[in-house]
């Protein structure tokens, strides 16, 4: 082999450099070719737009769609992404779908953060709990403890967040939202703004329905929980009872060996509130919250409204960068320029850094809670993206009006798949006892294949908050002796969430059992109809081999499938080509009679073979049979 190869050649350093350059050039060319063959599209673009992107005549796309996809499309008709992918593949391109809600187009791409650019930021805290348990009192005490806010005469009522500076020099941002409703509304839209949740529970009361809802919402969002046991100054206060009740809802405090911090406070007198603030700062240190202030600002809309004098106004919580007056931005389906920034006291400010809430004036429309605000350099590009998003949203709603929510019928009609399927349920009842009984009864329906997951159970009417929680977690709502209010009914129709109302527990259990049985894959069962023995074989030209048979048992049916068995071994499985009794075609031949059988696509029939006729039927499985197996 050495002789055939010749003497080994010496490679100089310049040859090695040339080789590495050639490899780099080849890799670069391959990457450029791959990029050239990749087309980035949003869903719902027209045939003419796709033709421009692919640089092919629109008539070719129309012809391909008609011939290969069976679609009668026009040049101005919009295609969904599956159709775009097929058409692009035919012309040698690979289609990549870009999310219509990501601003990574036309020069509005968000910048990536480098670790060395990140700086510590204040924690963002949401205070939740039951009505009259002291949320407002706690917020008022913390607000007045802030010297600057106190001097300015308090906080305007229409802003949803404010900033507190502590004597230690540390800062905390509080979300003063209408309880868990706004919290869930933002989570339903995919916005994770809150870092820590403070759960306020009154020491003279017990764990109430809204307390349980707040626990469910915090757990579903994966946010750390700190418990503030309020009203310990009252003579009837019993903090230990509250701690025991929290255990029943899987909130295990540190003194019981858990991880949840707790403080006994009096919001009215200010007892131990400083300890609660220290715990918030400690939790914030553990979370190691950081943001990059030296970049274009990004933030999240906490709430928005149409002010009669100022126009569209949004409370924005800045998450990265510094938001300044005069910045061009895009937020959801709207673009605009920051005309003014107001702090929580209604005073004008020039800029706002990470974790600072401000009111922003300058929107072209009212955004939704949870929309992402992104500062851009090019105002024209921002307007174009906003218009495109608005169009995409309008078309997505018209095409996918039934997508998003979950109905009980969806689960009953689900196709078979290998993984365990989960039916998520949100229960609301008139009293705690029936809600718990219903949750236990439904929980016992779970099997290895289909699981029931109770997302939340509560007491009281079905509210808009429940609809948003069901939307966020993909659950259906079961109401027991309760009704949805008008807002909830409207929200359910808008979000496509299914509400089932019952007055008897076993009716609810039966409906959920039926839905779960619909999610079980049906069992295939084979039923043997009859057997026939081959006595004689006739070869007929242009027809093939016909077996003269005697039916030994059962029935040979023209509609059934047949298998040919020779010496106990199956040699063929197929369908009947013909079944005759004397010269007449018949539908079936019974036991004890003779007949002529032709098997489709099989002529190797021999005397002594057994032709077995059978059919396969799908049998609906029940939860009992699944549990037994």
Structure tokens, 597: 């059988």
Cβ within 8 Å of residue 81, ≥6 positions away: 41, 43, 95, 97
* Domain ranges across the chain: 28-97, 124-288, 298-399, 408-519, 524-619
Residue 404: closest CA among 235, 224, 577, 190: 190
d(CA 445, CA 443): 5
Per-residue confidence (pLDDT) for residue 140, from 0 to 100: 78
Please give the pLDDT value at position 551: 93
Strand-strand pairing, 569-581 and 561-566: antiparallel
Strands 334-342 and 357-363: antiparallel
Q: CA-based Rg of the chain, rounded to a whole angstrom?
A: 35
Q: pLDDT confidence of 407, banded at 50, 70, 90?
A: low
Residue 202 CA to residue 268 CA, distance in Å, equals 12
pLDDT at 139: 78
CATH fold label, 408-519: Rossmann fold (3.40.50)
CA-closest candidate to residue 292, choices 272, 310, 318: 318
Which two three-digit tokens encode residue 299? 């933030």
pLDDT score for 16: 53
Q: Which residue has the higher pLDDT, 620 or 429?
A: 429
Q: What pLDDT is attached to residue 356?
A: 85
Model pLDDT for residues 16-36, shown as the tens digit of each residue: 555 667 777 777 777 666 666
Q: What is the mean pLDDT of residues 3-28?
A: 60
The answer to whether the 124-288 and 298-399 domains have the same CATH topology is no
Distance of alpha carbon 546 from alpha carbon 602, whole angstroms: 10
Sign of CA dihedral 116, 356, 210, 485: negative
Residue 390: pLDDT band with limits 50, 70, 90: confident
The DSSP annotation for 118-139 comes to -EE---EEEEEE-TTSSHHHHH
Which of the listed ranges 342-346, 368-372, 582-586 does the model predict with the highest average pLDDT? Answer: 582-586
pTM of the complete model beyond 0.85: no
Out of 3.90.1150.10, 3.40.50.300, 3.40.50.720, 3.40.1350.10, the CATH code matching 124-288 is 3.40.50.300
Q: CB–CB of 352/375 below 8 Å? A: no
Tell me the C-alpha to C-alpha distance, in Å, between residue 123 and each of 218, 355, 371, 373, 596.
16, 7, 20, 19, 85
Decide: 148 and 332 in contact? Cβ < 8 Å: no
**pLDDT per position as a tens digit, 197-223:** 888 888 888 888 778 877 887 787 778
What's CA 334's distance to the chain center, in Å? 24
Least confident of 59-73, 158-172, 319-333, 354-368: 158-172
> Does the pLDDT at position 77 exceed 60?
yes
CATH 3.40.50.2300 fits 298-399, yes or no: no
Give the fold, CATH level 3, of 524-619. Elongation Factor Tu (Ef-tu); domain 3 (2.40.30)
Residue 238 has pLDDT above 50, yes or no: yes
Q: Under a CB-based contact definition with an 8 Å cutoff, are residues 386 and 335 in contact? A: yes
Q: How far apart are CA 375 and CA 372, in angstroms?
A: 10
Q: Collect contacts of 162-166 with beta carbons under 8 A, ≥24 apart.
A: 162/344, 162/357, 163/122, 163/343, 163/344, 163/356, 163/357, 166/277, 166/281
Three-state DSSP class for residue 520:
coil
| Extended strands (E) in 489-543 | 499-502, 523-540
Distance CA 227, CA 258 (A): 12
Largest pairwise CA distance in the chain: 110
Burial of residue 453, with CB atoms counted within 10 A of its CB: 0-12 exposed, 13-18 middle, 19 or more buried: middle
pLDDT at 41 over 80: no
CB atoms closer than 10 angstroms to residue 180: 24
Q: How far is CA 103 from CA 298, 380, 389, in A?
A: 11, 14, 10
Most confident of the following: 77-86, 502-511, 544-553: 544-553
Query: Which pLDDT tens digit goes with each residue over 315-333?
Result: 888 888 888 898 888 887 8
- At residue 299, φ and ψ (nearest 5 deg) are -160, 180
pLDDT band per the 50, 70, 90 thresholds, residue 250: confident
């Amino acid at each position: 082999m050495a002789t055939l190869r010749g003497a080994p050649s010496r490679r100089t350093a310049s040859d090695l450099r040339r080789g590495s350059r050639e490899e780099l050039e080849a890799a670069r060319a391959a990457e450029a070719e791959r990029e050239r063959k990749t087309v980035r599209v949003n869903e719902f673009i027209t045939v003419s737009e796709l033709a421009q992107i692919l640089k092919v005549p629109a008539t070719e796309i129309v012809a391909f769609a008609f011939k290969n996809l069976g679609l009668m499309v026009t040049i101005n008709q919009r295609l969904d992404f599956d159709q775009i992918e097929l058409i692009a593949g035919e012309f040698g391109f690979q289609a990549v779908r870009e999310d219509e809600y990501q601003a990574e187009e036309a020069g509005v791409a968000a910048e990536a953060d480098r670790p060395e650019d990140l700086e510590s930021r204040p924690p963002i805290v949401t205070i939740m709990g039951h009505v009259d348990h002291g949320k407002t009192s706690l917020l008022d005490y913390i607000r007045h403890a802030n010297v600057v806010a106190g001097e300015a005469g308090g906080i305007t009522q229409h802003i949803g967040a404010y900033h507190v500076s502590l004597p230690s020099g540390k800062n905390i941002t509080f979300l003063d939202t209408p309880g868990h409703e706004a919290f869930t509304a933002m989570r339903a839209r995919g916005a994770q703004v809150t870092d820590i949740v403070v759960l306020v529970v009154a020491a003279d009361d017990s764990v109430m329905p809204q307390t349980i809802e707040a626990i469910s919402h915090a757990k579903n969002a994966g946010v750390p929980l700190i418990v503030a046991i309020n009203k310990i100054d009252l003579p009837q206060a019993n903090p230990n009872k509250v701690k025991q009740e929290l255990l029943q809802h899987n909130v295990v405090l540190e003194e019981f060996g858990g991880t949840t911090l707790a403080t006994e406070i009096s919001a009215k007198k200010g007892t131990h509130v400083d300890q609660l603030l220290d715990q918030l700062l400690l939790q914030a240190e553990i979370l190691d919250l950081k943001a990059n202030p030296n970049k274009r600002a990004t933030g999240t809309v906490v709430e928005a409204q149409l002010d009669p004098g100022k126009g569209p106004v949004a409370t924005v919580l800045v998450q990265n960068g510094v938001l300044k007056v005069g910045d061009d931005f895009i937020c959801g389906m709207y673009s605009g320029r920051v005309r003014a920034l107001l702090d929580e006291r209604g005073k004008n400010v020039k800029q706002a850094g990470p974790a600072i809430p401000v009111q922003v004036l300058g929107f072209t429309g009212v955004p939704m809670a949870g929309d992402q605000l992104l500062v851009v350099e090019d105002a024209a590009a921002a307007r174009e993206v906003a218009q495109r998003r608005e169009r995409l949203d309008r078309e997505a709603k018209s095409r996918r009006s039934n997508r998003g929510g979950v109905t009980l019928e969806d689960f009953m009609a689900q196709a078979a798949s290998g993984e365990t399927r989960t039916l998520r349920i949100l229960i609301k009842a008139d009293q705690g006892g029936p809600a718990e009984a219903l949750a236990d009864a439904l929980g016992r329906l779970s099997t290895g294949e289909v699981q029931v997951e109770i997302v939340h159970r509560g007491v009281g009417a079905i509210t808009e908050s429940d609809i948003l929680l069901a939307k966020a977690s993909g659950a259906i709502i079961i109401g027991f002796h309760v009704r949805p209010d008008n807002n909830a009914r409207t929200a359910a129709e808008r979000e496509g969430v299914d509400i089932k109302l019952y007055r008897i527990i076993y009716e609810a259990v039966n409906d959920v059992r039926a839905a779960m049985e619909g999610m079980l894959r049906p069992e295939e069962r084979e039923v043997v109809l009859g057997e026939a023995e081959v006595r004689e074989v006739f070869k007929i030209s242009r027809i093939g081999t016909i077996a003269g048979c005697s039916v030994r048992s059962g029935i040979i049916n023209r509609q059934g499938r047949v298998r040919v068995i020779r010496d106990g071994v199956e040699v063929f499985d197929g369908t009947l080509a013909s079944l005759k009794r004397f010269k007449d075609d018949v539908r079936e031949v019974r036991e004890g009679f003779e007949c002529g059988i032709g098997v489709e696509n099989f002529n190797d029939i021999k005397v002594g073979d057994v032709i077995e006729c059978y059919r396969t039927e799908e049998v609906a499985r029940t939860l009992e049979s699944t549990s037994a197996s």
